[in-house]
Amino acid sequence: MNTRLQRDFAPRPRFDASGLVRFHVLGEAVGWLEPETCAFLQALSPRFAGRGPQLHLDATADEVEPLLGRTALAMRDAGLIRGWRNERYTCFAPDAQGLPDLERPLFTLERAAFRRFGLTSRAVHANGYTSDRQLWIGRRSPRKTIDPNRLDNLSAGGIASGETPEHCVVRELWEEAGVPAEIAASAVYASSMRCTRNEPDGTHDEVLHCYDLLLPDHFVPRNTDGEVADFIRLSADAVLARLDEFTVDAAMATSDFLHRQRWL
């Protein structure tokens, strides 16, 4: 990473596990919990057992999903979970590198609960660019629960349960930027990276699947789902000058694009 990007990323949140409790489900270490979250869970149900640096959910495979679903609702009602989406993510068992093992799904859960439990989610980010080396950048709606008004990629969104990254990127490109499926289908998978950091509402831990999409010169993005306020077209230098206005994940995906395309 060049010195400009190192400086811009220096103040970004980092992950510090000190003081956190490792959360285990079905014998797998899947999440991170703050001490106050642990206290809430243990007061809620004796199924959450443990002390010190570990907390285990005492439940069978058939019991885990409904039990965590009821728990998430109780946490929402207590103000511990915000921005309820009525969408589900899948929590996978970790592989040897700690990444989601897609062959071993454990349970599904409301996506808004993933941060509070410190679970690993997955998302796609699409860098939309033009033939004259410009990037289309979205500004998140001021009504978004997470990172309102911040700059973002052309589209970005979580991979829902049962969804592939390829399907997700086409869906998100249409919903967030109005990109027709016949154009979105030409998005090229480019890289994956992991972003883990401490946040006020828990631990953000997400695998980002990054795609590049060369857009027709005449194309102007338009939002269709109310999640993006507007779009701006920026050069590489303009992007770097405003990198601190981006969400953390979008800044990572955008800087990765600029390096790979050798626009710097």
Other beta carbons less than 10 A from residue 79's beta carbon: 7
Task: Please give the model's pTM, rounded to 2 decimal places.
Answer: 0.93
Q: Which residue has the tokens 């149900």?
A: 45
Distance CA 4, CA 241 (A): 9
Write out the chain's pLDDT in tens, 264 residues: 445 554 455 446 689 999 999 999 999 999 999 999 999 999 999 999 997 899 999 999 999 999 999 999 999 999 999 999 999 999 999 999 999 999 999 999 999 999 999 999 999 999 999 999 999 999 999 999 999 999 999 999 999 999 999 999 999 999 999 999 999 999 999 999 999 999 999 999 999 999 999 999 999 999 999 999 999 999 999 999 999 999 999 999 999 999 999 998
CB 206 within 8 A of CB 23: no
Read off the tokens for 224. Answer: 């269709």
Q: Which domains, from first to last, does the chain contain?
A: 21-118 (3.30.750.160), 122-260 (3.90.79.10)
CA geometry: angle 123, 252, 176, nearest 5 deg: 45
Read off the tokens for 84. Answer: 């309820």
pLDDT in tens, 168-188: 999 999 999 999 999 999 999
H helices of the chain, where? 3-9, 35-44, 61-77, 114-117, 165-177, 181-184, 236-241, 248-260
Q: Which residues pair with 6 in a beta bridge?
A: none
pLDDT in tens, 173-232: 999 999 999 999 999 999 999 999 999 999 999 999 999 999 999 999 999 999 999 999
